[in-house]
Amino acid sequence: GQSLEQPSEVTAVEGAIVQINCTYQTSGFYGLSWYQQHDGGAPTFLSYNALDGLEETGRFSSFLSRSDSYGYLLLQELQMKDSASYFCAVIRPGGFKTIFGAGTRLFVKA
């Protein structure tokens, strides 16, 4: 089986930095992805880590530690438009099925 845990809600102010953590338990692991979803919208891909370390894409960075079964998404210079739900997702080998966590709802305040 598999499970992913991430906080249900995070609140931060505009311009700040926020980190959303994700721990996972899975019988097979290929990589960890992050997706963003605004209310009423479709999930959109943000980042992917297959190896340990930090991946940076503009204001967003994602980190993975395979030995700790842990990753995080780091959002810098927060903007109001970053208010959304963020999902970590595990990609499993043998079919590349992607399993999503329950999501973290981020509220950005002025």
Q: Which residues bind other proteins (CB under 8 A)?
A: 30-31, 33, 35, 41-45, 48, 50, 87, 91, 95-103
Residue placing its CB nearer to other proteins in the complex, 68 or 94: 94
Judged by beta carbon, residue 31 or residue 71, the one nearer other proteins is: 31
* Amino acid at residue number 14: E
In whole angstroms, what is the distance from residue 59 CA to residue 40 CA? 23
| Nearest approach, Cβ of residue 95 and other proteins (Å) | 5
- Rounded CA-CA distance 92/87 in Å is 16
- CA dist., res. 91 & res. 108, Å (int): 29
- The nearest distance, CB 14 to other proteins, in angstroms, is 24
Cα 19 to Cα 56: distance, rounded to the nearest angstrom: 14
Pick between residue 45 and residue 77 the one whose CB is nearest to other proteins. 45
Smallest distance from other proteins to CB 50, Å: 7
Q: By C-beta, is 2 or 79 nearer to other proteins?
A: 2
Supply φ then ψ for residue 81, to 5 degrees. -70, -10
Structure tokens at 107: 């509220």
Least gap, CB of 20 to other proteins (angstroms): 14
